[in-house]
Structure 1
C-alpha cells in the first residue's frame, strides 16, 4: 500500500508549485495587458501563497474530521474551477480573486499529502518521504517556466492556466480511483471543528513552533527569490524570458539533485544536524550574494549569473531544510496530524507571504532583498539553536499517538 501511495501523493503535490512557476515568464506580458505595475503582478504570487496558508487553518480540521480523500477531491475540483476562472478574466482584480481561490484549493491538496505521510510513516521515515516529495516539487521550477514561456509565446499567458486546469483534471481521476483513506480512526467526531482547544496543545509545543518558524523563514527566502527574480532578470537586466527560464531552471535542477540526496544526508546526520547544515548554507548564500554584487560586470548575462549563483546555495539549503524541519514539527502529533499540518502550513505560507510583501515595500534591489531575508533568518535561527536555554525547542522528541 505504501509503495502505491507515494506516486499518487507525488502527482498531487505538483499542483501547488505548478500554480506558482508556470506563469513567471508571462508576468511582463500580464502587466502590459492589464496595465498594472510589476509589483501588482507579483501580488498574484503573494496572494496565492497567503491564501494557501490561511486556508489551511480552515481545511486542516476538516481533513481530520471527514478524512483525507474527500478533502483532496474537493480541493482539486476547486483548483480546476479557479484555474478556468483565471484563464477567462478581463479585469485584474478578478485575476487576484482567482489566485486566492486557487491558493485555497492548493492548500487542501497540500494538507492531504503531508498528513497522509504522517499517517503512514514514523518521524524518521516521514523526513525521507517529505524529501522525496520536495524533490518532485523542485522539478516543477526546472520545467514549468520553460513550458509556460513556450505556451505564452504561442498561445498567450492564459494558456498557462488552461494547462493547470487540464493537469488538475488528470490528478482528479487518479485521486478519485486510486487514493486510499489514510486518516487514523477517531474516537470522537462530534467536537467543534474550530475551537481553541484543538490548536492550543499544538501551539504550546515549543518544538512545533520553532520548526514552523524555521519552515516559514525557508519559504520566505524562496518566495523572495522567486518573486524578485523575473523582474530583475527580464526587466532590470533586459534579458529574454527564455534566458530567465534557463537560469531559473538550472537552479531548480540543482535543487532537484539536492532533494533526492537529502534523505541520505538526513540518514547520516539526523534531522537536527541536517537543519543546522541547511541554515549555514542560507547564511553562506547571503554572504556570497553580497560578494557577487561587488564584482564589476560588463554584460547583462554575467550580471544575471552573478545574481543566480548564490541562489544555488539557497536552493540546496532549502532542499535540506524542509524535510527534517517539517518532520520534527509534526513528530509529536498522531491523530491530530491534519490540524498540526494546517497550522504548520499557515505559519509557513502566510508568514512567508507577509514577510515577502513587507520586503517588497522597501527600496532594496533584488540581490539585497534576498540578502536581508535569507541572511537575517539564518542568523537568528542558528543563534537560537546555539543557546542551551532553548535546547528543548529544537531537540528530537519521541512521537506519541
Structure 2
C-alpha cells in the first residue's frame, strides 16, 4: 500500500510545483526572452489550459490501457517540457513548453486520484486525500522559497531544470515502484458490463462535482487576490505578506492532517457541512470588516477560515465523488479536474473583466458557494441511501 501512496503523492505534487516554482524568476525570464512580465503571466493560464485539455483523454485512456502507462507518459512529458522551457529563446517557445508541461501534469494529476480509487476503500481514501491536500497546500509557500534559493546561485533556467529532475524522479518512481492497479483482463471480464450503469448524470456525482469545483474556485480566488488584499488594502509589506501566506498554509496543512482523525469521530457529511460553515463564517468576517464593524486585522481570521474550510472539506468530498465508479474512475477523475480548473479560471477572469474589487471576488464565491453547497448536501440523498434505492452500483 505504501508504494501507491508514495507514487500518488509524487504525481499530485507536480501540478502545484509547476505553477509556483517559476514565479520568482518572472523578472529574469521577461528580460531574457524580451517580453514583459504581464505577457509572461499568461504562462499561468497556458499551463492550466494544458491540464484541462488533457484531462479527459488521460482519464479515458487510463480506464482502457491502465494507470501506469499514463503516469509514465505524463511524468516524462513534464520533464521534457521543463527542459525545453529552460532552453527557450523566445516567449512563444516558452509558452508552448508551459502548455506541454500542463499536459504532463494533467495526466499525472488525474491518474493519481484514479489509483487511489482503485486501492483504497471509501473511508481510507477520504483520509488519504485529506493528507494529500495538506501537502499540496504547503507547496505554494515552499516552491517559491526553493526557487528563490536556487536563483541566489543560478539563472532562471535552473528552475525548470529542477522541475525536469522532479519529473524524471517521478518517472523512475512510477517505473520501478508503482504496480498497475487496473488490469485489462479484469476490465473486460468484470467491470466492462458496469460501464453502462456508472452514469455521470446521477445526482450524487453531479452534486459533489459542484461542491469540489466551488471549493477549488474559492481557494484559487483567495490565492489570486491575496496580494491586493494583504499588501494593498491592509498595507502589509512583502515580508509581512510572505509571513501571512506561510501562516495560512500552515493552517491548511494542520487542518488537512487533522481531518483523518476527525473522520474517526464524525460522519463525512458532518465534516463537509462544517467546511461549508467555515466558508460562510469567512464571508461574514469579510463583510463585517468592509462595513467597519471589525478592524482590518480580522481579515486574517477570514483567511484562516477559508483555508481551514477548504482543507477539511475538499479531500472528503473528492473521495465521495469517486465512490460510485469502478470501471470509469479515470474519466470521473478527469471530469472533476476539468470542472475545477475551467470554472476557477473562468470565474477569476470574468470578475476581473467586470473590475470587481479583490475582497468582493472572494466574498461572492464564499457566500454563493457555501449557500449552493449546503443546499446540495441537504437535498441530495446520502450515498448509502442511493445504494439502497439502486441508483448507483452497490459495490461503490
Question: What CA deviation, in whole Å up to 9, does each residue of 1:99-157 have, x standing for no partner?
Answer: 22222111111122111111011112211111121122123123112222333454344
In the superposition, relative to structure 1, how do residues 379 and 46 fare at CA in structure 2: closer, same or farther (>3 Å)? Answer: farther
Q: Does 1:400 align with 2:395?
A: yes
Identify the residue that residue 97 of structure 1 maps to in structure 2: 96
Secondary structure of 2:326 counterpart? coil
Indicate if the aligned counterparts of 2:4 and 2:178 stay in contact, CA closer than 8 A.
yes
Shift in CA distance, 377/25, structure 1 to aligned 2, threshold 3 Å = farther
Aligned equivalents of 2:373, 2:27: Cα separation in 1: 36
Do the aligned partners of 2:26 and 2:37 also contact (CA within 8 Å) in 1?
no
Q: Is the 8 A contact 1:220 1:351 kept in 2?
A: yes
**Structure 1 match to 2:339:** 347
Whole-Å separation in 1 of the counterparts to 2:89 and 2:231: 25
1:359 paired to 2:351: yes
Written as runs of structure 1 = structure 2, the 5 A alignment for 1:318-397 is 318-386=310-378, 390-392=379-381, 397=386
Q: Is the 8 A contact 1:115 1:338 kept in 2?
A: yes
* Residues 1:131 and 1:381: Cα distance change in structure 2 (over 3 Å): same
Partner of 2:247: 250
- Asked if structure 2 preserves the Cα contact closer than 8 Å seen for 1:219 and 1:348, the reply is yes
Structure 1 residue 244 displacement after superposition: 3.5
Bigger mean CA offset, 161-170 vs 208-217:
161-170
CA distance in 1, matches of 2:186, 2:240: 56
Change in Cα spacing, 1:46 to 1:200, as seen in structure 2 (3 Å) is farther
Corresponding position: 1:36 with 2:33: no
Cα distance 1:383–1:189, how it changes in 2: closer, same or farther (>3 A)?
closer
Within-5 A mapping of 1:175-186:
175-186=174-185
Give the distance between the partners of 1:286 and 1:91, measured in 2 at CA: 43
Q: Which runs of 5+ in 1 are unaligned?
A: none
In 1, are the aligned partners of 2:269 and 2:377 still within 8 Å (CA)?
no
Aligned residues: 386
CA shift for structure 1 position 203: 2.2
How has the CA–CA distance of structure 1 residues 145 and 309 changed in structure 2, closer, same or farther, with 3 Å as cutoff?
A: farther
Alignment of 1:177-196 (within 5 A): 177-186=176-185
Kept after mapping to 2: 8 A contact 1:292/1:307: yes
Q: Residue 268 of structure 1 aligns to a residue in which SS?
A: coil
| Cα 1:247/1:155, change in 2 over 3 Å | farther
Deviations 1:257-304 (A, max 9, x none): 11100112233222212111111111222222233345599xxxx97x
Q: Contact 1:75–1:106 (CA<8 Å) still a contact in 2?
A: yes
**Match for residue 60 of structure 2?**
61
Query: Shift of the alpha carbon at 1:159?
Result: 3.0
1:123 alignment partner in structure 2: 122
Contact 1:328–1:396 (Cα < 8 Å) also in 2: no
Which residue in the other structure is 1:133 paired with?
132
1:247-326 map, 5 Å: 247-293=244-290, 308-326=300-318
Say which SS state the counterpart of residue 202 (structure 1) adopts.
coil
TM-score normalised over the length of structure 1: 0.85
